[in-house]
Amino acid sequence: MRLLALLAVAVLVALPFVVGSYVVTVLIFIFFYAYLGQAWNIVGGYAGQLSAGHAAFVGIGGYAAALLSAHAGLSPWIGMWIGGALAALLGAVIGYLGFRFGLRGFYFVLLTVAFAEICRVVALNVDAVGGALGLYITFTGNPRQFQFQDNRAYYYVALVLMLASTALVRSIERHRFGAYLTAIRQDEGACEALGVDTLRVKMQAMILSSFLTGVGGTFYAFYLFSLQPNAVFGIPLSVEIIIRPIVGGAGTVMGPILGSFILSPLAEISRTYFAQGGWNGAHLIVYGLLLIAVVLFLPQGAYPALLRLARRRP
């Protein structure tokens, strides 16, 4: 298994020199969304706290880094950590309010959506952060400002993000924190009776998850060169974030990666073939149908199903 993983990484590293720019771009999105999905996986998959408002963290991270770069000349390489920290702060607030007040399941989902929407409306209306037009980042191509002339540089950054986050989640799985997360997802009350400080563990998961997502916001901002409140805080982005780990397998290490490799190409295809359907609509229908299909037929996701299949062939 180890050998297979190394081989796969080697292939991915070599790929940009073999394939064309379009494929590289698609892969960048696959890696990036796998990263965001992996970050969400910590609190949404392992701990089972469904958050449908993670876009808020992307937005905060992105806006923070972009604003610091534009107004304070701060390099995004530093700004990304500040953005991550601010996102973690919001995550801590949401987590504390939600967990302390005992919000579970549907109520917690609503809480996260409410916060994300508030961020969106604020960003839309506060002109100091760009208002409805959003923020634009001037192209300089300067690596010190997190900008690269070559698409492939972004490719490697995204690849590192994906691999690093996956290594982190794998490590979590093997340590006490991960065991506690998984147990909390099963039955919090029983955990409390076994000496697990469930509030603390859930907070840690939420803060870590939102921090990582916030860091991802910087990549988002400096790869797309623009931040639009509706795009970066809105529900569609939150859906993009959660659907990959859910389809791939929430609470598994490979889930977000597998999910991203399934969904990004699917989204691309639906976008191109249903282009006359108007306005981004078609691929979200596919997402909705996929969510429904996964819930009905593969509730644990694609990765566990593949593992079961692999075990059946001796």
Partner 1 sequence: MDPTLIGQGLLSGFLFGGVYSLMAVGLTLIFGVMRVVNFAHGDMMVWGMYLAWMLSVRAGIDPYVGFVVCAVALFLLGLVVQRGLVERIVDAPHEMQILLMLGVALVLENAALVTFGPDPARVRSPLSQATVWLGPIFVDLARLLTFGLAMALTGALWLFLARTDLGRSMRAAADNPYGARVIGTDVRKVYGAAFGVGAACVGAAGALVSPILPFQPTSGLGLSVTSFNIVIIGGMGSLPGAFVGGILVSVAESMGAVFLSPSMKELVSFGLLIAILLFRPAGLFGKTAG
Partner 2 sequence: MSLLEVSGLKKRFGGLLAVGGLDLSLEDGEMLGLIGPNGAGKTTVFNLLSGFLSPDGGEIRFGGRNVVGLKPHEICRLGMARTFQIVRPFPQLSVLDNVKVAALARHPAMARALEAARAVVDRVGLGPRAMDLAGRLTLADRKRLELARALATEPSLLLLDEVMAGLNATEIDAMVRQVAAINQGGISVLLIEHNMRAVMSLSHRIVVLSFGEKISSGTPREVAADRRVIEAYLGEEYVHPPQA
| Nearest-approach distance from CB 141 to partner 1, in angstroms | 35
298 makes contact with partner 2 (CB under 8 A): no
CA dist., res. 257 & res. 35, Å (int): 8
| Nearest-approach distance from CB 96 to partner 1, in angstroms | 11
128 makes contact with partner 1 (CB under 8 A): no
105 makes contact with partner 1 (CB under 8 A): yes
Residue with tokens 């808020």: 56
| Nearest-approach distance from CB 300 to partner 2, in angstroms | 9
Tell me which stretch binds partner 1 (CB under 8 A): 74-82, 138-146, 196-204, 282-290.
282-290
The residue within the footprint of partner 1, chosen from 74, 78, 113, 153 (CB under 8 A), is 113
| Nearest-approach distance from CB 163 to partner 1, in angstroms | 28
The residue within the footprint of partner 2, chosen from 71, 175, 312, 313 (CB under 8 A), is 175
194 makes contact with partner 2 (CB under 8 A): yes
160 makes contact with partner 1 (CB under 8 A): no
| Nearest-approach distance from CB 171 to partner 2, in angstroms | 11
Site for partner 1 in 214-243 (CB under 8 A): 235, 239
Nearer to partner 2, 25 or 198 (CB): 198
Nearer to partner 2, 182 or 230 (CB): 182
| Nearest-approach distance from CB 290 to partner 1, in angstroms | 8
| Number of amino acids touching partner 1 (CB under 8 A) | 44
Nearer to partner 1, 24 or 60 (CB): 60
CA dist., res. 59 & res. 64, Å (int): 8
- Is residue 147 within 8 A of residue 90, CB to CB? The reply is no
50 contacts which partner out of partner 1, partner 2, none, CB within 5 to 8 A by kind? partner 1
Tell me which stretch binds partner 1 (CB under 8 A): 19-27, 64-72, 115-123, 261-269.
115-123
Binding site for partner 2 (CB under 8 A): 174-176, 179-180, 182-183, 186-187, 189-198
